[in-house]
Structure 1
Amino acid sequence: MDRLRIGVIGLGWFGEIHCETIIGVPNLELAALCTRQPDRLAAMGAKFGVAKTYADYNDMLADPEIDAVSICTMWDQHVGPAVAALKAGKHVFLEKPIASTVEDARTIIEASKGARGILFVGHIVRFNPRYRMAKQAIDTGKIGKIVALSSRRNIPAAWTPTILNKIGPIVGDAIHDTDIMLWFTGEKIVSAYAQTISVRNLKHPDIGQTMYRFESGATATLETVWCMPEKTPFDIDERMSIIGTEGIIHVQDTFPNLGIVSSDKLHSPDTTYWPEFNGVRGGALRDEFSYFANCALAGETPVMGVPTDAAAALEATLAAEESARTGNVIRIGQG
């Protein structure tokens, strides 16, 4: 078999982006779609020319012609389809966060043990070439021992009113930087402290400021602001600094990597994660799907998107959210 026939479960805005990415990956075939919303299912089936459409993911998983699934449901709805897909022998691409609780993450990981298909968790930032190059420099000893890290991952307010009624900025976005910091250091996070600010009085706060301590004593600060002003000319303000005993790495993937000036505004669209060209997505998301497909087709266990790594990032960000609620430093992995 040289192509994986893949179905997408969950057809919200990012599920649609998954579909737009899959159609551009040579060894993937977008073969099925699933959502509980009939109108959305019909619209996406028509858009992508997919005949197999399902309201129940169990019906999709019962189809022997489906080799793999991409799960893009809300984070608190990952356990059911992920466990069922693994039990059905499908390869699973599971969007981050792996789950909404550490217990649910462990349930999914347990289901993957001995499963016929692979379980890959979509932490896309590891496929950003800037971070991959930083990791390469760290691994070859260019900056010595890491002693401090800092990150910024801020997005405009217009993106987030709906999202903030489902997930907060620390687990929703700082989890990316948490995962990268765990990857760079190769260490565990032992404590978390955070503060949050509610600007628009939505279900979750607009701003999260987080601090971690790693087992070596290294520290990290993470800024996540989900309410940048309406006229902000870029989709994301993303930066990270890694300070070592012998050097420094600075990653910047934000304005002005591309500036487009029109009659009414200056705009700097995403050119890294899922840029769109003629209705097909490229960038890091395409590389991520290609990696997933190559591993599945070759019968290889992924070394990126490892479920236990995803669970560690989830545990740290949930601890940070608990800290923001209680005002306490939260110890992680103690006993």
Structure 2
Amino acid sequence: MDRLRIGVIGLGWFGEIHCDAIAGIPNLELAALCTRTESRLAEMATKFGVAKTYTDYADMLADPDIDAVSIVTMWDQHTDPTIAALKAGKHVFLEKPMASTVADCARIMEAAKDAKGILQIGHICRFNPRYRAAKEAIDAGRIGKIVSMSSRRNIPAAWTPTILNKIGPIVGDAIHDTDLMLWFTGDRVVSTYAQTVDVRGLKHPDIGQTMYRFAGGASATLETVWCMPEKTPYDIDERMNIVGTEGFIQIQDTFPNLGIADAEKFGSPDTTYWPMFEGVRGGALREEFAYFTKCALAGEKPTIGTPEDAMAALEATLAAEESARTGEVVKIG
């Protein structure tokens, strides 16, 4: 087999972006779509020219012509379709967060143990070339032992009212930086303390401030603000500092690596994660799907985006949210 036929389960805004990225990868065929909303299903089928459409993922998984699925449902609806897909012998690309509980992560991992298909979790930041370069420098010993890390991942308020009724900024976004910090250190988080700020009275607070202590002694701070003002001239303010005993690394992604001023405003569009060039999504998401496709076609388990790593990131961020609710330091493991 030199081509993977994939179906997408969940067609919200990011499910559509997944479809955009898949459509641009030569050995990956967007072969089927699934969502419970029939009008959305028809709209996306027309946009992407997909003939096979389903309102029930079980019907998609029963199709022997579908080799793989991308699961982009809400995070608390990941577990059942993922386990079903693995049992059906499909390769599975599962968006982060892996699940909404550590127990569900464990259930997914158990299903993946003897599955015919591979399982990759979509922690996209590992495919950002700046973080990849940082990882190589760390692994080469260029900054010595990591002792401190800090991150910022702030986005405009206009993006988040709907999202904040489903997920909070710590699990929703700080999980990216948590995953990166676990990757860079090769360590585990042993305790966390967090605070949140409720600005707009939505289901989840707008701001999360998190601190971690790692088993090896390093500490970290993570800032996630989901209510940047209306005139904020960028889609995301993303930065990380990594301090070692012999050096440091600074990463600044989108503030701004490209600035465009026109008659209306000054803006800094995404050039890293899923930029659109000539109608095709590029960037880290494309690289992530290309890696998934390569692993699946070769029958090799991914070493990036493993379920073990994804569960560790979820466990740490859920503990941080518990700390924010209780006002206490939460120990892990």
Instruction: State the one-letter code of the partner of 2:156.
Output: P
Instruction: State the one-letter code of the partner of 2:324.
Output: A
CA distance in 2, matches of 1:183, 1:297: 25
Instruction: State the one-letter code of the partner of 2:195.
Output: Q
Give deviations 1:86-105, integer Å, cap 9, x for gaps.
Answer: 00000000000000000011
Instruction: State the one-letter code of the partner of 2:94.
Output: L
TM-score (norm 1): 0.99
CA distance in 1, matches of 2:49, 2:278: 16
Instruction: Give how far 1:279 is off.
Output: 2.4
Aligned to 1:78: 78
TM-score (norm 2): 1.00
Instruction: Give how far 1:278 is off.
Output: 2.7
Please show how residues 324-335 of structure 1 align to structure 2 within 5 Å.
324-333=324-333
SS of residue in 2 equivalent to 1:106: helix
CA distance in 2, matches of 1:27, 1:137: 32
CA distance in 1, matches of 2:256, 2:128: 17
Aligned to 1:286: 286
SS of residue in 2 equivalent to 1:284: helix
SS of residue in 1 equivalent to 2:208: strand
Instruction: Give how far 1:277 is off.
Output: 1.6
Instruction: State the one-letter code of the partner of 1:328.
Output: E
Instruction: Give how far 1:264 is off.
Output: 1.4
CA distance in 2, matches of 1:57, 1:240: 38
Runs of 5+ unmatched residues, structure 2 = none
Q: Does 1:270 align with 2:262?
A: no
Instruction: State the one-letter code of the partner of 1:51.
Output: A
SS of residue in 2 equivalent to 1:173: helix
Q: Which stretch of structure 1 is more off in the superposition, 249-258 or 46-55?
A: 249-258
Q: Does 1:119 align with 2:156?
A: no
Aligned to 1:106: 106
CA distance in 1, matches of 2:21, 2:178: 25
Q: Does 1:128 align with 2:109?
A: no
Instruction: State the one-letter code of the partner of 2:299.
Output: G
CA distance in 2, matches of 1:173, 1:20: 22
Runs of 5+ unmatched residues, structure 1 = none
CA distance in 1, matches of 2:177, 2:105: 19
CA distance in 2, matches of 1:24, 1:110: 33
Aligned to 2:309: 309
Q: Does 1:96 align with 2:96?
A: yes
SS of residue in 2 equivalent to 1:134: helix
After superposing on structure 2, the runs of 4+ consecutive aligned residues of structure 1 that deviate more than 6 Å are none
Give deviations 1:153-195, integer Å, cap 9, x for gaps.
Answer: 0000000000000000000000000000000000010001000
CA distance in 1, matches of 2:328, 2:29: 48
Instruction: Give how far 1:301 is off.
Output: 1.0
CA distance in 1, matches of 2:134, 2:33: 37
SS of residue in 2 equivalent to 1:263: coil
Question: Number of aligned pairs?
Answer: 333
Q: Does 1:223 align with 2:223?
A: yes
CA distance in 1, matches of 2:326, 2:256: 38
Instruction: State the one-letter code of the partner of 2:46.
Output: A
RMSD of aligned Cα (Å): 0.4
Please show how residues 1-335 of structure 1 align to structure 2 within 5 Å.
1-333=1-333
CA distance in 1, matches of 2:114, 2:120: 14
Instruction: State the one-letter code of the partner of 1:176.
Output: H
Q: State, as a whole percentage, how many aligned pairs show the same letter.
A: 78
CA distance in 2, matches of 1:256, 1:5: 37
CA distance in 2, matches of 1:30, 1:307: 24
Instruction: State the one-letter code of the partner of 1:156.
Output: P
CA distance in 2, matches of 1:225, 1:313: 19
CA distance in 2, matches of 1:254, 1:35: 32
